[in-house]
Amino acid sequence: MSDLVVRAGKLDAADELAALRDRFVLDPVSDHAADTAGVYLDGNSLGVLPAVVPDRVADVVRRQWGELRIRSWEESGWWTAPERIGDRIAPLVGAAPGQIVVGDSTSVNVFKAVVAAVRMAREAGGDGRDEILVDATTFPTDGYIARSAARMTGCTLRPVDPAQVPGALSGRTAAVLLNHVDYRTGRLYDLPSLTAAVHAAGAYAVWDLCHSAGALPVGLDGHGVALAVGCTYKYLNGGPGSPAFLYVRRDLQDRFDSPLPGWNSHAEPFGMRPEYEPSAGATRGRVGTPDILSLLALEAALEVWDGVRIEAVRAKSLALTDFFLECVAAYVPAGRVESVTPYAHAERGSQVALRCPDAGDVMERLIARGVVGDFRHPDVLRFGFTPLYVGFADTERAARVLAETLAE
């Protein structure tokens, strides 16, 4: 037995979060079969099913919808679900209650936030605010949405590297759309300093938290973030296509001018008046009828966070990714793969991305052997580490199987 296998066992035995694995539906592992068990390292794309969700969804379908029917909007709390679930997410991203609404997709919420940011910047600084900056390496949809928002608001769109944002800001800048963690490389960007720079220039930062919410402390309130969006199906384990969230800082809520006003964000939604009057608070971020089935599945999934500190999750995330990089260095011949994820903790999210010339083929073979990560074009192997259910033995096995696969 290698030293790394022994260390993995000791680390798992000392892990304060190890018992959380029982809150998820995972492949069964017996002592004699541990070395052949599957390892799921794709929680940065789709989180594992929390064990409480199936029965909760069955209740929503059979009792709330099947028996109570329309009464469930009041009796089962359907109507207040977007704000109630937002308040459940809030402590995981460092926000006080009343600032997050859940609903729609990440793309839709990015559109709302970017257009609203431009409108708020112009309200304060005039029409000369005619430029939107966007992370040049962003997930494609964010780029598409930013381009459409620029056309809609008469702005020009300028892609820039996040590190270059402070030097790119000017009196023309209205909004800056940034990713907290780069989806391809796992690089963590400096949210506090970039937010401060953007706001000092009279613009508004919009942060995409898809790869950080539920993986590390964000500190939205503490760092004065104006607007943020994030998905819930990765580290928050809300299920495929679960609704995204929108954060609007409390002091900006009365100025948040959504480009998608809907009856659900009306001050009197059942007044059915032709004139739109926005509601107060974070509910301005709502649009149409909430997607109740997926919302309530997400609400159940969030119960796995009961009693869990996000700081402990971050500590384990860094320990797992450190250990994985150490195991890769020990098992994989030098030069066969290259980490594009920073080694510095301050610059690392909760994934490790390895550059490999034949990455697509390698990932297919890894998945066939039970180690599930994913491939990003053209040459990146991505491994996401979700501390709530990934252990150190999983991590060692994944690195060892990677080495064996590369040697085939």
What domains can you pick out in the chain, each with its CATH number? 3-37+309-407 (3.90.1150.10), 54-305 (3.40.640.10)
Per annotation, catalytic residue among 119, 172, 234, 286: 234
Count of C-beta atoms within a 10 Å radius of residue 253: 18
Per annotation, catalytic residue among 233, 245, 323, 392: 233
Count of C-beta atoms within a 10 Å radius of residue 361: 12
Would you state the pLDDT for residue 33? 47
Would you state the pLDDT for residue 127? 87
**Could you tell me where the DSSP H helices lie in 212-358?**
292-301, 310-331
Per annotation, catalytic residue among 24, 111, 139, 183: 139
Would you state the pLDDT for residue 34? 53
DSSP state, 216? S
**C-alpha span between 199 and 225 (Å, rounded):** 9
Would you state the pLDDT for residue 9? 97
Q: Are 171 and 202 in contact (CB under 8 A)?
A: yes
Does the annotation mark 139 as catalytic? Answer: yes
Q: Are 391 and 18 in contact (CB under 8 A)?
A: yes
Considering the entire predicted model, what is its pTM? Answer: 0.97
Does the annotation mark 208 as catalytic? Answer: yes
Within the chain, which residues score under 70 in pLDDT?
1, 29-36
Does the annotation mark 151 as catalytic? Answer: no
Residue 380 is encoded by which pair of tokens? Answer: 């990146």
Does the annotation mark 233 as catalytic? Answer: yes
**C-alpha span between 99 and 408 (Å, rounded):** 52
Per annotation, catalytic residue among 187, 382, 397, 400: 382
**C-alpha span between 408 and 406 (Å, rounded):** 6
Per annotation, catalytic residue among 208, 291, 374, 394: 208
β-strand pairing of 227-230 with 245-248? antiparallel
Q: Which helix (H) or strand (E) holds 230?
A: strand 227-230
Would you state the pLDDT for residue 32? 42
Hey, CA dihedral for 58, 64, 68, 70, is it positive or negative? negative
**C-alpha span between 342 and 352 (Å, rounded):** 9
Does the annotation mark 234 as catalytic? Answer: yes
Query: Where do we find the tokens 């040049």?
Result: 136
Q: Which residues contact 310 (CB under 8 A, 6 or more apart)?
A: 91, 92, 214, 216, 217
Strands (E) located in 29-99: 39-40
